[in-house]
Amino acid sequence: MSADPHDELRTAIAGVVASDRLLIALDFDGTLAPLEDEPMDARMLPAAREAVEAVGAAPETVVALVSGRSLSDLRVIAEHRDDSPLLLAGSHGAEFWIPGEGVVTHDDDPADAALRDELRTHAEQATADLDGVWIEPKRFGFGVHTRKATAADAAEANLRVDALVSAEAPHWRRRTGHNIVEYAFRHEGKDSAVAELRARTEASAVLFAGDDVTDEDALKSLGATDLGVHVGNRPTAATLTVADIPAMAELLAVIAAERSATREENPSGERPAARQ
């Protein structure tokens, strides 16, 4: 009899499957949705959406999307409605959406917003002659997209904007991703986003999954009872690697089935619901 292809996977996820209350925190672009030349065209693959819904319906399991996208943009591309059970962390954890509560964020200094607008304009002017370079407005800064630019123009754009930000806002945080460099006056990262979501949901274990460099902060912050998952094939701090988005969807589907089966076979007392 041939071995069940999911046996190795079940061994890797056994710890989080058995946890009392599990938080599954997922990057969006490249983890659930393919990367797009037009960022706002991104949508979850059907298999990924089905798996997210299934695992979110499993007992004592909470699902959150954790993204560098602004919260408003994340809600659009995730097709997130006001009645959704999904928690959201946008702008690398600088703003949240919580079921039953809505938008949760921290106060900003008006001077930061003024500098953001000024720098964004300067970045647009500095890169206007470079084909395929696009400056994306973000609530806490901006991103320099180079997916449609040549390698030479992409390098030149990043060089120009790096110099600009270094001169005018050296205290800003710089992050790199797939064909994007982001600059922000807020210094939260996906590690702090996961920590806040863990506390808010009272999770006993966290599974975090992502595909990009910006996800490594969160992966490195996980504890012994948690599980980090990398989607792709580059070096990573994650414990488990899956090949692509369909494989990530399959992993979530297995977790949903395993947690549901475990609770049916071994029911226990209810733990507190997520704090609102």
pTM over 0.85: no
- What whole-number distance in Å separates Cα of residue 104 and Cα of residue 93? 10
Percent of the chain with pLDDT over 90: 79
Q: Which residue shows structure tokens 């999911």?
A: 6
pLDDT(125) > 80: yes
Token duo for residue 3: 């071995």
What average pLDDT does the structure give for the chain? 91
CA 258 vs CA 90, 248, 251: distances in Å:
29, 15, 11
* pLDDT tens digits for range 74-122: 999 999 999 999 999 999 898 999 999 999 987 778 899 999 999 999 9
Q: What is the CB neighbour count within 10 angstroms for residue 196?
A: 17
Looking at the chain, the number of H-run helices and the number of E-run strands are 8, 12
The string of DSSP letters for 96-138 reads EEETTTEEEE----HHHHHHHHHHHHHHHHHTTTSTT-EEEEE
pLDDT recorded at residue 118? 96
pLDDT(273) > 50: no
Taking alpha carbons only, the member of 166, 247, 152, 180 closest to residue 39 is 180
pLDDT recorded at residue 144? 97
Token duo for residue 16: 């989080």
Residue 266 pLDDT class (50, 70, 90 cuts): low
Triad 210, 212, 215: Cα angle to 5°:
55
* pLDDT tens digits for range 23-40: 999 999 999 999 998 889
The string of DSSP letters for 13-73 reads HHHHHT-SSEEEEE--BTTTB---SSGGG----HHHHHHHHHHHTSTTEEEEEE-SS-HHH
Average pLDDT of the segment spanning 43-58: 98
